[in-house]
Amino acid sequence: MNKSLITGGAGFLGSHLCDRLIKDGHDVLCVDNFFTGSKANVAHLLSHPRFELIRHDVTFPLYVEVDQIYNLACPASPVHYQHDPVQTTKTSVHGAINMLGLAKRVKARILQASTSEVYGDPAVHPQTEDYWGNVNPIGPRSCYDEGKRCAETLFFDYHRQNNVDIKVVRIFNTYGPRMHPNDGRVVSNFIVQALKGQDITIYGNGSQTRSFCYVDDLIEGFVRMMGTEAGFTGPINIGNPFEFTMLELAEKVIKTVGGKSKLVFMPLPTDDPKQRQPNITLAKDKLGWQPTVQLDDGLKETTAYFRKLLNA
């Protein structure tokens, strides 16, 4: 039996993971409350005999029988996770407890979609997995950052206390088709703005950096991590180490999309990290993984998706 549960499976990353696991021959159980995800992202799988979709909120218990669990449920865009911050923390913390309780009962292997946000506004650059981070515990981003940090704590305590077979992946900024057009994250914002001929909104002076991973690369890293030997828990960074300023990203998007968009500068959100770049030595060593898609190519794919979606 190869039955995989994907929480947050109707979201951006989750829906790509559903595709990949169906292709690999798994039975896939997709669980989502459709807060930021949608049925449309998995519509093409609904008639597949090995695919099942359940509307469910992971802050409530879930009793199913599965072999492995990918725990992705959680809004990922600052705009969305700050909309109902209490629910965001509940999703990470109660969601982790429920999925770990499930993993413990059915003896399933469980992978947590953690985040580079556990490093906060990092004082170590590039970030290695042994860096403990620099996170504000009481700011507007804390519901997400601290929720994800507490989820990691729960994963390691269920591992030590109950011998649950865990894998923790720290995902760095990932983009691609099926991001929501109103997602609010920078790549989708810039592409949608450029396609509509609107101004490109740079927060702050645009000198802050991020490192962008294309979704297909990320999913490959997920699957490889899930397949590692028992006892290899991570945490492991998965991301693309090429670092860009937001001004550089805006230039690339304008070049890819074309059009006449201008840059407008808006206030920098509170606690916005100044720089971010993964050190992926561990992923290279343990998974034989590194990203293969360059930002220019990934932006072309993502632009084609939004062009079709928006009829632009």
| Alpha-carbon span 249 to 203, nearest angstrom | 12
The question of whether 305 is a catalytic residue gets the answer no
Interaxial angle between packed helices 12-23 and 215-226, expressed in degrees from 0 to 180 and rounded to the nearest 10: 60
The H-or-E segment that residue 81 falls in is helix 78-81
186 binds, among ligand UDP, ligand NAD, none (CB under 5 to 8 A by kind): ligand UDP
Residues 134-163 that bind ligand NAD (CB under 6 A): none
Residue 261 binds ligand UDP, judged by CB under 6 A: no
Instruction: Indicate left, alpha or beta for 111 from its phi (over 0: left) and psi (-120 to 50: alpha).
Output: beta
219 binds, among ligand NAD, ligand UDP, none (CB under 5 to 8 A by kind): none
Which is closer to ligand UDP, CB of 101 or CB of 139? Answer: 101
Residue 201 binds ligand UDP, judged by CB under 6 A: yes
Burial label, 193 (beta-carbon count in 10 A; 0-12, 13-18, 19+): buried
| Alpha-carbon span 214 to 177, nearest angstrom | 9
Q: By CB under 6 A, name the one of 20, 50, 52, 59 that touches ligand NAD.
A: 59
Q: Which of 119, 144, 175, 214 is catalytic?
A: 144
Collapsed DSSP state (helix, strand, coil) of residue 311 = coil
Residue 91 binds ligand NAD, judged by CB under 6 A: yes
Residue 208 binds ligand NAD, judged by CB under 6 A: no
Q: By CB under 6 A, name the one of 3, 5, 12, 98 that touches ligand NAD.
A: 12
Tokens 């894998």 locate to 167
* Type of residue numbered 105: R
293: which 2 tokens? 């898609």
The single-letter DSSP state of residue 176 is -
| Alpha-carbon span 134 to 137, nearest angstrom | 9
Longest dimension (CA), the chain: 58
In whole angstroms, how close is the CB of 90 to ligand NAD at the nearest point? 7
Residue 302 binds ligand NAD, judged by CB under 6 A: no
- Interface ranges with ligand NAD (CB under 6 A): 7-8, 10-14, 32-37, 57-59, 72-76, 91, 95, 113, 115, 171, 173-174
- Interface ranges with ligand UDP (CB under 6 A): 61-63, 77-78, 97-98, 101-102, 104-105, 173, 185-186, 189, 201-203, 208, 210, 246, 269, 272
For the annotated catalytic residues, the residue numbers are: 144
